[in-house]
Amino acid sequence: MRKIAKIVQALSYWPFYLLFKFFLCLKVEGQENLRGLENKPIIFASNHASYLDAPLGAISLPLKFLPVRFLATEWLYKFINLPVVLFIWLHGSIKIRKCGGDLETALKEVVSILKKGERIWIFPEGKRIPKGEIGQGKRGVAYLHKETGAPIVPVAIVGKSRVVFGKPIYSLGEESLEQGADKVMLAIKELIAQQVR
């Protein structure tokens, strides 16, 4: 799946980039915070307000960071129409099933992918939240970090077309998974606050 995702993301990169750039005035900031991470597994963690967030995230990254695998809830596969499901599957999305809070089972594939050196993009809130609001982060983002040691890069998506990469988080300390998720969401909130001042 990684090879397919890499090809599809590479082919769609410039068409989507140009669409976002000229029609939505795409603006990307903070890419300098990605220096030194080119050949490492990364957990990109961002707020989630729109179905456009995944393609927006992909085109906001330098090409050398592709492919990036987006985590998608099982709900998305059930209720979105077939062309959209096919699109997100070809782009390398990973379907996450609800397992009654059993993170080891739910995120087993994601942990394996990170340990192989791939990059993933997670929306810690677990669902779309209305624009201008930030929801509570779920434990998964902290669990993935603790299981793999992959740095977490907080990402703020502001409006429809501004993406801001924050400084990598290399350690969540000895905090609980809930506290770790809160720390990630706080970093995202701070990035958003800097943009709206």
pLDDT tens-digit map of 94-110? 888 887 789 999 999 99
Domain 2-196: assigned CATH number? 3.40.1130.10
Q: Where are the domains of the chain?
A: 2-196
Which stretches of the chain score pLDDT less than 50? none
For residues 172 and 192, what is the distance between their CA atoms, to the nearest angstrom? Answer: 21
Q: What is the pLDDT of residue 84?
A: 65
The pLDDT of residue 140: 95
Q: Which pLDDT does position 1 carry in this prediction? A: 67
C-alpha distances out from residue 3 to 7, 8, 53, 69, 82, Å: 6, 9, 22, 11, 22
pTM over 0.85: yes
**Which tens digits make up the pLDDT trace of 143-182?**
999 999 999 999 999 988 899 999 999 999 888 999 999 9
Torsion of CA 140, 101, 186, 50, to 10 degrees: 80
The amino acid occupying position 107 is: L
Strands lying side by side in the sheet with 68-73: 27-29, 162-165, 152-158, 42-46, 119-122, 68-73, 94-96
- CA distance linking residue 5 with residue 121, whole number of Å: 13
Exposed e or buried b per residue across 103-113, where buried means at least 16 C-beta atoms within 10 angstroms of its C-beta: beebbebbbeb
pLDDT for position 81: 60
Residue 197 confidence (pLDDT): 57
DSSP 8-state assignment for residue 65: G
- Rounded Cα distance between 3 and 17, Å, is 21
HSE-CB at 1 with a 13 A cutoff on CA atoms is 16
